Structure 1
Amino acid sequence: MESPFCVSDLALKNPDFALIETLGWTGRELARLDLHLVRLARGAQFLGMKVDLVQAQDLLKAATLPDRPARLRLTCKLSGALEVVASDMPAAQMIWRVGLSNMTLDPHDPYLQIKSTHRPVYDAARQHMAPQFDEMILANAQSEVCDGTITTVFFDRGQGLCTPPQTAGLLPGILRQEMLSKGLCREETLVAQDLHKVRLFVGNALRGLIEANFYP
């Protein structure tokens, strides 16, 4: 896979740039660890950099405490330097209130191939989110639903769970990958104008699948 990035140029333009993986520690195991490590390795390969997956796994395990669930944020700098920060697991909510952002994603943006700290559209949409919402949905210029600011979008038209196709312009979510590989959902296009017509869910590897209500 040929990378569109020059690592040395990227380091000069954005010295704080890093690949990110956010994992859940259940108190007994690191949830979906293998999938996270594969995505991290794939991101490093895409950028033409190296990452020590054994060290990454050791750092993650060292940051955990038995029987105490936690949120673990693993970062890998362009130099290959790894860091893990542990924090409390976010409180669970039964149903999220979701709106539609007026910001759009570009399916051709190479940064959508990797999970990294460079996410200006996602961050801006979340920053401008009204306080009554838990999440904002992002679409592309063709009004095709893409992603949430911190979640993947799932929906059901009454014929089973679906998620937008990667070609719409979205990040490679771990929960999405797992559910597709297990046949728990399939790819299907959803236009923003139809968000009120479907049963809506959002989710990620840390929080799992969350039912959502859409408010125009």
Structure 2
Amino acid sequence: MSVESPLCDGSGIAAMKPAFQLIETLRYEPDADFLRLELHLQRLENSARALGFPLDMPAVRRQLAAKGQGNKALRVRLTLDPDGVIDIETAPFEALPAETVWRLGIAKTRLRHDDPLLQHKTTRRALYVAAREEFSREEVDEVLLFNDLGQLCEGTITTVFLEIGDKTCVTPDISCGLLAGILREELLRKNVVRQAILTLDDLRNAQKIFVGNSLRGMIKADLSCCFATL
């Protein structure tokens, strides 16, 4: 399916083009093709339509098929610019060991709960870079962000999942201002997790913490090592 939605204002006059691209980061496995491919393409199509990026979906599928070959796992980075130009880059991918536990920090940098662009995956990354730079690579593996209302949102490259109460697994509600992550979407559709508005106390009191994304899957996490004072 092709999406053609020119960047224009209500009068039909071309508007200023965004200074960012849409991005999807996929994982290719020789025995499973692209993981969660249809969810990635659905998000790309939805974002392109919402933000006015022209999209030739058949061309995306053809280019992905050409890149998804070989007998090694790949990290695949797909970008779509405001003119509809598609670019796909690949790099070798190595999964984390099953016993991996990521150390988490909490950033002082805040997201705005009412920023609609946070629900789309784009190359507009300044806030996430700022949050990550609050900690050294030796201190933490991932940094979590809250919004201006004190609600838990997401990591700089991951979705957050908490096991609470009767082992219910919850993830921050999309209304808090966060990316509609692909792993998150898959688990919501399967009723493995549910959305909730979460606070710092919820994070501190969680029985288990996980972070994850479509590239790496679910990763056990530990908050005890380091976090900022909010």
The TM-score, its normalising length taken from structure 2, stands at: 0.86
| CA deviations over 1:15-37 (Å, ceiling 9, x no partner) | xx210000000123100110000
Which residue of 1 is the match for residue 222 of structure 2?
213
Which residue of 2 is the match for residue 196 of structure 1?
204
1:90–1:139 Cα change, 3 Å = farther
Distance 1:128 1:70 in 2: 30
Residues 1:137 and 2:141 are matched in the alignment:
no
Which residue of 1 is the match for residue 129 of structure 2?
123
Which residue of 2 is the match for residue 43 of structure 1?
47
Distance 2:15 2:79 in 1: 18
Aligned residues: 211
Q: Which runs of 5+ in 1 are unaligned?
A: none
- 2:17 is paired with a residue of what secondary structure? helix
Structure in which a larger fraction of residues adopt helix: 1
Which residue of 2 is the match for residue 18 of structure 1?
21
One of 81, 86, 92 as aligned partner of 1:88: 92
Distance 2:146 2:57 in 1: 34
Question: After the TM superposition, which segments of 4 or more aligned residues of structure 1 sit over 3 Å from their partners?
Answer: 4-8
Of structures 1 and 2, the larger Rg is shown by 2
- 1:61 is paired with a residue of what secondary structure? helix
- 1:20 is paired with a residue of what secondary structure? strand
Distance 2:92 2:104 in 1: 24
Residues 1:156 and 2:160 are matched in the alignment:
no
The answer to whether the Cα contact below 8 Å between 1:156 and 1:200 also exists between their aligned partners in 2 is: yes
One of 85, 100, 105 as aligned partner of 1:99: 105
Q: CA deviation at 1:127?
A: 3.0
Q: CA deviation at 1:5?
A: 8.6
Q: Which amino acid aligns with 1:95?
A: V
Distance 1:43 1:119 in 2: 16
- 1:10 is paired with a residue of what secondary structure? coil
Distance 2:217 2:46 in 1: 23
Higher mean Cα deviation, 82-91 or 167-176? 82-91
Residues 1:79 and 2:83 are matched in the alignment:
yes
1:168–1:25 Cα change, 3 Å = same
1:5–1:137 Cα change, 3 Å = farther
Q: Which amino acid aligns with 1:114?
A: H
Q: Which runs of 5+ in 2 are unaligned?
A: 1-6
Distance 1:73 1:5 in 2: 28
The answer to whether the Cα contact below 8 Å between 2:116 and 2:177 also exists between their aligned partners in 1 is: no
The TM-score, its normalising length taken from structure 1, stands at: 0.91
The answer to whether the Cα contact below 8 Å between 1:129 and 1:135 also exists between their aligned partners in 2 is: no
Which residue of 1 is the match for residue 176 of structure 2?
168
1:82–1:162 Cα change, 3 Å = same
Q: CA deviation at 1:91?
A: 4.2
- 2:204 is paired with a residue of what secondary structure? helix
Q: CA deviation at 1:193?
A: 3.4
Distance 1:92 1:5 in 2: 44
Higher mean Cα deviation, 102-111 or 146-155? 102-111
Q: Percent identity?
A: 37
